[in-house]
Amino acid sequence: MSEANPERAIDRGEGTEAGRSAHSIHFDIFTLFPSMFCGPLSESILKRAQEKGLLSVALHDIRAYTTDRHHICDDTPYGGGGGMIMKPEPIFRAVETVLTGPPGWQLAPEDAFVNLPPWDPETPAPLPAEVPIILLTPQGRRLNQAIVTELSHFRRLALICGRYEGVDERVRTQLVSDEISIGDYVLSGGELAAMVLVDAITRLVPGVLGYAEGAQQDSHSPGLGGLLEGPQYTRPYSFRGEQVPDILLSGHHGHVARWRREQALLRTLQRRPDLLQTVNLSDEDRTFLRRHGWQPEMGEGEQERDADQ
């Protein structure tokens, strides 16, 4: 949760398992480039989720909420400097107009610019406490699977896509309730980050994936305890001289499960050893990892325990 706007607390009542029964999710996305979302939203899993009624997305053109002659959404920064800053008024008007309406409401194209619902720039609108308003920004908390799971419990989320050199700071301090970054790098805008967030969250909505447990067995998922997923194989048995490990054809479910656990441990050790510091490891896991060169960072108590072993 962003510390910039502590007064706008988010109601997390939908976070219970009971609250997720017959769960569907709605995204309101605020952007200067709504057409960028056409491809990702009209293909594959996201398309099927919408057809099943498990996902709905409303794209809101921030520019449509401007009333000046040239429909200006950006301006030069106070104090000088390169680039342009997104103005606060169009963003506030778009978000407050949409979120005070029901999920799915959109401004009719013929009403853009000229027939906007009433809005008072000096009076904050009463926004629904149960709807996170998320700014996609490289300054936000870095996205991980735990955050995706947290956000998947909500039924409605608002995503604001920044552009240019960013948004006026008052958007952060007075409007948004959270700020998310998808990594330590800079994109041209928040649209691609918003697409990532929509996809990652939608996968966790019950009924979206064909295999119900699929999302719980991916890398970083709770089903793997935060580990990376190990190697996967399918037909043919042999390809270019490399065969499928025979244990996967053994039919012994216990041995297969242990092999997969060990492969997940090994892959995590090789590619993301930092993750092992927070994973709940059994004694068997630790023994396996040490055989492959793992040297954990241990406190005194753990060192004494290992010495006893």
pLDDT recorded at residue 3: 47
The residues, ordered by sequence, that sit 6+ positions from 212 with a Cβ below 8 Å of its Cβ are 206
Phi, psi dihedral angles at 52 (to 5 degrees): -80, -5
Tell me the residue length of the chain.
309
Distance CA 303, CA 297 (A): 9
Residues annotated as part of the active site: 138, 165, 203, 218
State both tokens at 211: 């295999």
**Cβ neighbours for 38, distance < 8 A, ≥ 6 positions apart:** none
Q: Are 255 and 262 in contact (CB under 8 A)?
A: no
Q: Alpha-carbon distance 211 to 78, whole Å?
A: 52
Residue ranges of the chain assigned to CATH 3.40.1280.10: 13-202
Nearest-angstrom CA–CA distance, 297 and 308: 17
What local confidence, expressed as pLDDT, does residue 23 receive?
Answer: 86
Answer yes or no: CATH 1.10.3720.10 is held by domain 223-296.
no
- Spell out the per-residue pLDDT of the chain, length 309, in tens: 444 465 565 665 444 333 334 689 999 999 999 999 999 999 999 999 999 999 999 999 999 999 999 999 999 999 998 899 999 999 999 999 999 999 999 999 999 999 999 999 999 999 999 999 999 999 999 999 999 999 999 999 999 999 999 999 999 999 999 999 999 999 999 999 999 999 999 999 999 997 655 555 667 777 688 999 999 999 999 999 999 999 999 999 999 999 999 999 999 999 999 999 999 999 999 999 999 999 987 544 444 445 454
CATH code 1.10.1270.20 region(s) in the chain: 223-296
Return the CATH superfamily for domain 13-202.
SPOUT methyltransferase, trefoil knot domain (3.40.1280.10)
What digits encode the pLDDT tens for the residues 224-267? 889 999 999 999 999 999 999 999 999 999 999 999 999 999 99
Pairing mode, strands 85-86 and 74-75: antiparallel
CA-based nearest residue to 198, from 148, 260, 238, 246: 148
